[in-house]
Structure 1
Amino acid sequence: MRSLMLVVLLGCVVAAMADHHSCGTLQRLKVKQQWSHAFGHGDSRIDFGIALWRAIFNQEPSYRALFKQVGGDDETSPAFIAHSQRVLGGLDMVISLLDQADTANAQLAHLKHQHDARGIPVAAYGVLKNAALATIGAQLGRCGDKEAWSACFDFIAEAIHG
């Protein structure tokens, strides 16, 4: 009986270690919970969006020109805030569906179609990831799981641009 328990315990440890750098079940649940805290609600979502886009534009100032039609020269303008909330609403939906594989995959396929039509460069996903991890990290502090976020962000980005 002891050897069986030891084998099961070792199997669990190996499974947990193998899943450590992937967007597995535990990581998806952590990301969902942490996103709820980081993104917040009401006006805090607007503040989150402003911080995120400032981080994006600080990394890649040339990206402002991509958002000229929605007021990209001022991330606090009503037009740009509306755009920001549409983008973050899509991300919010995907994150909330992470533990519902079929529905999440359908939403990711929809977003892929939208992003393919707009010609979003693959490099933009890396810029967004860096900005998102920094913005989320600022909200969560040491409680954030950067590895889970990185793995799940990569999963989402790959599904959209892949």
Structure 2
Amino acid sequence: MKSLIALVCLVAAVDYCLADHVCGPLQRLKVKRQWAEAYGSGSGREDFGHYIWAHVFQHAPAARDLFQRVRGDNIHTPEFRAHATRVLGGLDMCIALLDDEPVLNTQLAHLAKQHKSRAVTADHYSTVEHAVQMGVEHSIGSEVFDQDAWKPCLKVITAGIAGN
């Protein structure tokens, strides 16, 4: 009997290691907790947003063109800072809804409508995903940041916004 239990545990462990990581219930809770810590409050949110957008434009300078309406040429302007705050607020809402899929899907459909006409590409979403992960890791520390939870959960959000 002990051998059977050991075999089942081994198969489960190997299956987990070989499977693509998913945004399951535990990953969603971890992302929510880590986001709450990183996102913080007050002026810390503005600094957090600045870190993320500086990272986006460092890795995708041409993406600035998508933000002409809000002065993407200078992330220090009030127009861009207000936009960055709105974007992070939307992301905060999506992360808060990770464990309520019907409401999350409705929110993602709403955001997809807003982004449809803005020529946002898969590469842009990928760059933002990476920047958000770097921002959270920078904020909470690499020793606790869980990339295996963040990657698939951010994919859920960005795929929903992309309309996929």
1:53-132 residue pairs with structure 2 within 5 A?
53-132=53-132
1:145-156 residue pairs with structure 2 within 5 A?
145-156=146-157
Q: Which residue identity does 1:71 align to in structure 2?
A: R
7-16 vs 136-145, which moves further: 7-16
8-17 vs 54-63, which moves further: 8-17
Q: Which residue identity does 1:147 align to in structure 2?
A: D
Structure 2: 5+ residue runs without aligned partners? none
Q: Which residue identity does 1:152 align to in structure 2?
A: C
53-62 vs 116-125, which moves further: 116-125
**Aligned twin of 2:21:** 21
Show CA shifts across 1:107-158 (max 9, x none). 1111111111322122100111111111111112111101100110111111
**Aligned twin of 1:134:** 134
Distance 1:71 1:77 in 2: 7
Pairwise CA RMSD: 2.2
Distance 1:4 1:106 in 2: 45
Give the structure with the larger helix fraction. Answer: 1
Show CA shifts across 1:4-45 (max 9, x none). 977986797578668770000000000000000011111111
TM-score norm. by structure 2 comes to 0.87
Distance 1:97 1:15 in 2: 28
TM-score norm. by structure 1 comes to 0.88
Q: 1:130 to 1:10 in 2, by over 3 A?
A: same
137-146 vs 112-121, which moves further: 112-121
Equivalent residue of 2:117, what SS?
helix
Q: Which 4+ residue blocks in structure 1 deviate beyond 6 angstroms? A: 1-12
8 Å contact kept, 2:71–2:77: yes
Equivalent residue of 2:67, what SS?
helix
Identity in percent: 42
8 Å contact kept, 2:66–2:118: no
Structure 1: 5+ residue runs without aligned partners? none
Distance 2:18 2:84 in 1: 35
8 Å contact kept, 2:137–2:145: yes
112-121 vs 100-109, which moves further: 112-121
8 Å contact kept, 2:28–2:98: yes
